[in-house]
Amino acid sequence: MPPAFEIRQQIDHIYRSDSRRVLATLIRLLGDFDRAEEAMHDAFMAALDAWARDGIPDNPRAWLISTGRFKAIDAIRRAARFDAAKAAHAGQLDTSVLPPGLIEDTTGDVEDDRLRLIFTCCHPALTADARIALTLREVCGLGTEAIARAFLVSAPTVAQRIVRAKGKIRDARIPYQVPGREDLPDRLDAVLHVVYLVFNEGYSASSGDAIVRHDLCDEAIRLGRLLVDLLPEPEAMGLLALMLLHDARRHARTAPGGDLRLLDEQDRSLWNRPQIAEGLALVERALYSRRFGPYTLQAAIAAVHAEAADAAATDWRQIVGIYDVLMRVEPSPVAALNRAVAVAMRDGAAAGLALIDAILGRGDLADYGPAHAARADLCRRLGRREEAAAAYARALELTHQAPERRFLERRIREIAGEP
Partner 1 sequence: MRYLCLIYDDESKWGTMPKAEVDAMMGEYFAFTEGVKHSGHYVGGEALQPTQTATSVRVRNGKISATDGPFAETKEQLGGYYLINAKDLNDAIQVAAKIPAARIGTVEIRPIMEFN
- For binding to partner 1 (CB under 8 A), which residues are involved? 85, 123, 125, 171-175, 177, 179, 183
Q: What number of other Cβ atoms are within 10 A of residue 251's Cβ?
A: 12
Q: Which is nearer to partner 1, 187 or 380 (CB)?
A: 187
The answer to whether 391 touches 365, Cβ cutoff 8 Å, is no
- To partner 1, the closest distance from the beta carbon of 28 in angstroms equals 14
Q: How far apart are the first and last CA of the chain?
A: 78
What is the rounded distance in angstroms from the CA atom of residue 260 to the CA atom of residue 309?
21
Q: Which is nearer to partner 1, 20 or 187 (CB)?
A: 187
- To partner 1, the closest distance from the beta carbon of 71 in angstroms equals 26
Q: Which is nearer to partner 1, 194 or 220 (CB)?
A: 194
Q: What number of other Cβ atoms are within 10 A of residue 28's Cβ?
A: 18
What is the rounded distance in angstroms from the CA atom of residue 45 to the CA atom of residue 234?
41
What is the rounded distance in angstroms from the CA atom of residue 205 to the CA atom of residue 198?
10
The answer to whether 288 touches 233, Cβ cutoff 8 Å, is no
- To partner 1, the closest distance from the beta carbon of 235 in angstroms equals 21
Q: Which is nearer to partner 1, 32 or 201 (CB)?
A: 32
Q: Which is nearer to partner 1, 170 or 251 (CB)?
A: 170
- To partner 1, the closest distance from the beta carbon of 124 in angstroms equals 9
- To partner 1, the closest distance from the beta carbon of 123 in angstroms equals 8
- To partner 1, the closest distance from the beta carbon of 176 in angstroms equals 9
- To partner 1, the closest distance from the beta carbon of 304 in angstroms equals 40
What is the rounded distance in angstroms from the CA atom of residue 70 to the CA atom of residue 342?
60
What is the rounded distance in angstroms from the CA atom of residue 119 to the CA atom of residue 291?
21
For the chain, how are helix, strand and coil distributed in percent, rounded to 5? Answer: 75, 0, 25
| Residue 401 phi, psi dihedral angles, 5° rounding | -105, 120
What is the rounded distance in angstroms from the CA atom of residue 392 to the CA atom of residue 383?
14
Q: Which is nearer to partner 1, 1 or 85 (CB)?
A: 85
For 44-195, strand residue ranges (E) read: none
Q: Which is nearer to partner 1, 171 or 209 (CB)?
A: 171
